[in-house]
Structure 1
Amino acid sequence: MQQNLYDNTEFFNMYKNLRETRITYIDFIEQPAIRKLLPPLQNLQVLDLGCGFGEQANYIIDNGATHVTGVDISEKMLGMARKRSEIHYLHSPIEEVDFNNHQFDLVVSSLAFHYIEDYHLLISRITQWIKPNGYLVFSTEHPIVLSNKNQEGWIKDYNNNILHWPIDHYGEEGLRTQFWGIDGVIKYHRKLSTLLNVLIQNGLVIEEIVEPESISEGLEKMPKLINERKRPSFILIKAKRVM
């Protein structure tokens, strides 16, 4: 099931305004972590799946890559992406785009895979696009975040203090719906073993796994990020195709 949240005007405006504050989980947790996982970018051909506003694509070009192909389902997001000759944007669902075998040195994706229903097929296709000795680096919402079917958030006491994060139905993979700006946002829960084993089954060698916490600036500007020590929001994986 494909869901184009970001062309919903209400959701898009909410997300755009949030990102423009530069005070977000992405700015202080996810992006600093994913940038540390990237291999040296000099002269690489890169695919960015779920590229959004193109900020990650610009970072990759600014740090030496030759070319980035950015793919996103949202016409509104791509409409705001900075136009550069080194970046080619494709308006397409990730599930429908296709490329030549061994076309990219690096495939990178920031918080998009949890929107994709068929993870097995996704990784199979991506592996074909990666050159031998090339990399896949991606972030996704952490399995413990998405496990609970009710998606009810933190359990708190009578004074609204956080007690713990509820984990339930962890072994029941599949669709979850939640309120995030609008009702009915669809994501897909997968066990940690699934995230890792599908990579291994496709011949990818896992080099690093990160469950990041906030950088120091984030703790100053968003004190609630200290709760990442109670429960990580994201998991990031770096894997290499060796053949």
Structure 2
Amino acid sequence: MKQNKYDESGFFANYSQMPRSIGGLDAAGEWTAFRALLPELEDKRVLDLGCGFGWHCRYAREEQARSVVGVDLSENMLDRARAMTNDPQIEYRRLAIEDIDFTEGEFDVVISSLALHYVENFDSICRQIYRYLAPGGTFVLSVEHPIFTAIEAQDWHYDSQGAKLHWPVDNYHLEGPRQARFLDNDVTKYHRNVSSYVNALIESGFSLTKMSELQPTADMLASNPAWEEETRRPMFLLLAAVKQ
């Protein structure tokens, strides 16, 4: 299933008002952890899957990447990315992640931020990315954590006064689509457990080099008390893997 909610005017308007849409990478809570997983980008050929407004693409070029290709299915997203980009070494292409088609060894780094939980067949995408990477290439991705995606409601369990008691987890090993609410719309996400993400990478030929579940630091908690929720349950899963 290839969703394109972002080309629906109401959904895109709501997304455009999110802090990360306005403030960019510095407003994305998981950015510091994601950046820490990235390899040296100087002179690298980079592919960004689900590039959105192109924040990661522009960051890669700031880090002296040789070239960047950003892929997204939404024309609204790509129009915004192009309007924010003045760099001939960044190319944006309208494609579903499921439809990518590049040559073997075309890239040195592939990144994907919070997009692959919308893709049904993660195993197939991993095999394709492995082929598109040059030997020694790196794949860095973030997804919503499986503890976060297991229940369709994606919400806390509250007491009668509205206090957050706990985050419910059920049907964790029942993988597949979940109909979730996001920005007042129904969206389909694909729930996989942690081992499925890890094993898909390993079985595709990758060596896993780092995994993060984004435990908030003392500085994060001091700067934004809302991070306290992330000490109670993980919202993000981040993985880095290398093609040996």
Q: Quickly name the TM-score band, shorter chain normalised.
A: over 0.9
Flag as ranges the 4+ runs of structure 1 deviating above 6 A.
Answer: none
SS of alignment partner, residue 3 of structure 1: coil
- Secondary structure of the equivalent of 1:207? strand
State the one-letter code of the partner of 2:147: I
Matched with 2:240 is 238
CA 1:152/1:37 → structure 2, altered by over 3 Å: closer, same or farther? closer
By how many angstroms is 1:214 displaced?
4.2
> 1:28 touches 1:214 (CA, 8 Å); kept in 2?
no
Q: SS at 1:95's partner residue? A: helix
Partner of 1:121: 124
Equivalent residue for 1:87?
A: 90
Q: Distance in 2 between matches of 1:140 and 1:234?
A: 6
For 1:158, the aligned partner's letter is S
State the Cα distance separating 1:30 from its structure 2 match.
1.4
Partner residue of 1:224?
A: 226
- Counterpart residue identity of residue 134, structure 2: K
Give the SS at the match of 1:29. Answer: coil
**TM-score under structure 1 length normalisation:** 0.93
Residue 23 of structure 2: aligned partner: 22
Quote the Cα distance in structure 2 between the aligned partners of 1:180 and 1:3. Answer: 13
Distance 1:214 1:7, change over 3 A: farther
C-alpha spacing 1:152/1:129, structure 2 compared with 1 (3 Å): closer
What SS does the aligned partner of 1:175 have?
Answer: strand
- Number of aligned pairs? 240
From the superposition, tell whether residues 64 and 152 of structure 1 become closer, same or farther in structure 2 (CA, over 3 Å): closer
TM-score normalized by the length of structure 2: 0.93
Structure 1 gap segments, 5+ residues each:
none
The residue aligned with 2:106 is 103
CA RMSD of aligned residues (A): 1.8
Q: 2 CA distance for matches of 1:28 and 1:159?
A: 30
Is this contact kept in 2: 1:23–1:218, CA < 8 A? no
Secondary structure of 2:230's aligned partner: helix
Q: 1:56-75 counterparts in 2 under 5 A?
A: 56-75=56-75
CA distance in structure 2 between the aligned counterparts of 1:208 and 1:104, rounded to whole angstroms:
20
Q: Measure how far apart 1:213 and its partner are.
A: 3.5
Q: Which amino acid aligns with 2:79?
A: G
Report the counterpart of residue 162 of structure 1 in structure 2.
Answer: 164
Is the CA contact 1:212–1:232 (under 8 Å) kept in the aligned structure 2?
yes
1-structure distance, mates of 2:154, 2:38: 33
Is 1:205 the counterpart of 2:197? The answer is no
State the Cα distance separating 1:223 from its structure 2 match: 2.1
Report the counterpart of residue 2 of structure 1 in structure 2.
2
Separation (CA, whole Å) in 1 of partners of 2:195 and 2:21: 35
Deviates more, 1:104-113 or 1:79-88: 79-88
